[in-house]
Amino acid sequence: MKLSVPIYQLKREARRLAREEKLPLSAALDRVAAAEGFSGWSLLAARYAESSPAAKLYGRLQPGELVLVGARPGQGKTLLALELAAEAAKSGGQGMFFTLEYTDKDVLDRLRAIGREPAELGDRFGFDCSDRISAAYIIDKMDTSPRGTLVVVDYLQLLDQRRENPPLAEQVRALKAFAEARGLVIVFISQIDRSYDPAEKPYPDARDIRLPNPVDLELFSKSWFLNNGEISLQAAG
C-alpha cells in the first residue's frame, strides 16, 4: 500500500485538523483517510497493517536478542515497536509493551491507529504503564513468559529516571541475561540526540543515541534507525 506520506505524518495532520477546526479526532482521521482514497481511517489503518514492515522485521528476530529502535521524535519509532509486539501476538506468540511514556488510553489509541484492535489480539498482547517500570520490574512480570515472547521497553533512557533504580548499564545487562536465559526478544525504543542532522546523513546511527549514562551498545544485536518514513537496519552497536 502506497500512502502519500508515512502514516505517522497522516496522524499528525489529523491532530492538526482536529485542533484547528475543533473536530473530534476520529472525524479528522476519517477526513485525512478520504484524501488518501479510503472510506475511513479504520480501512486505511487495516490496509497499512497488512502492508507494514513489522511482519518482515519480526521474522528477523531471534530469541535472546536485544534490539534498539531509534529515531528523533515524531518519526514513528513507537508505532513500529508497538507493531512488532502486535505482530508477535498475531503470529501466535506473545507481545508485551512496557511504557513509561504513555497512558493506557494512549497505547490503545495507537494500536487502533495502526489497524490493530486489542480484542483481536486477546491475551497474547499486553501492556503496562506503571511508573515503577525498571529492569527488575520487567523481569518479575515476564518471568513465566514462553520462549519467543517479544517485549518492548518504551523507552531506554527512562529506565534511568528513578534514583532508586540501578544504573542504566546494569539494567540493560540484566535484561540481556534474562532475554538469553528465557529466550525472549527485548526491543528498546531509544531517543536520538538533538544534534543529529538529517542533512548530513540520511539516518541516525549508534553515535547519535542519547545516553546520559554509559551503556554497552554491543549488548544489542540489532539497531534499527528511522527517519522520514524509512528504516535503516544496522548491526550491533
As for how many domains the chain has, the answer is 2
Of the chain, the percentage scoring pLDDT greater than 70 comes to 97
Residue 2: CB atoms within 10 A of its CB come to 5
Divide the 237 residues of the chain into consecutive groups of 10 and give the mean pLDDT of each group: 77 90 93 94 81 84 96 92 94 95 93 84 96 97 97 95 92 98 98 94 95 92 92 77
C-alpha 142 chain-centroid distance: 18
Same domain, 70 and 185: yes
Q: Is 192 helix (H, G, I), strand (E, B) or coil?
A: strand
Burial of 92 (0-12, 13-18, 19+ CB in 10 A): exposed
Same domain, 160 and 137: yes
With respect to residue 129, please indicate whether it lies within any of the assigned structural domains: yes
SS3 (DSSP) at 159:
helix
- Structural domain of 43: 7-51
Is 158 exposed, middle or buried, given 0-12, 13-18 or 19+ CB atoms closer than 10 A? middle
Q: Distance (Å, rounded) from C-alpha 6 to C-alpha 12?
A: 10
Domain assignment present for 180: yes
Query: What pLDDT is recorded for position 7?
Result: 76
Contact between 33 and 39 (Cβ < 8 Å): yes
Do 144 and 35 lie in one domain? The reply is no
Same domain, yes or no, for 97 and 147? yes
Residue 92 inside a domain? The answer is yes
Residue 66 near residue 173, CB atoms below 8 Å: no
Rounded Cα gap, residues 125 and 85, in angstroms = 7
Quick one: 94 and 45 in the same domain?
no
Q: Judge whether 2 lies within some domain.
A: no
Q: Are residues 33 and 46 in the same domain?
A: yes
Q: How far apart are CA 190 and CA 21, in angstroms?
A: 33
Please tell me the distance from the alpha carbon of residue 39 to that of residue 31, in angstroms, as a whole number: 9
pLDDT in tens, 106-143: 999 889 888 788 888 999 999 999 999 999 999 999 99
In a domain, 73, yes or no: yes
Provide the pLDDT for residue 212: 82
In a domain, 218, yes or no: yes
Report the candidate in 36, 33, 81 with the shortest Cα–Cα distance to residue 57: 81
- 1 within some domain: no
Do 111 and 39 have their domain in common?
A: no
Dihedrals phi, psi of 128, to nearest 5 degrees? -145, 125
Do 43 and 58 lie in one domain? The reply is no
Is the residue at 94 inside a domain?
A: yes
Q: Identify the pLDDT of residue 237.
A: 55
Q: Read off the pTM.
A: 0.83
Q: 51, 69, 84: which is the final residue of a domain? A: 51
| pLDDT per residue as tens digits for the range 115-124 | 788 888 999 9
Task: Looking at the structure, tell me whether residues 132 and 27 fall in a common domain.
Answer: no
Domain shared by 79 and 110, yes or no:
yes
Which domain CATH number covers 96? 3.40.50.300
Judgement on whether residues 132 and 212 belong to the same structural domain of the protein: yes
Based on the domain organization, do 13 and 80 belong to the same domain?
Answer: no
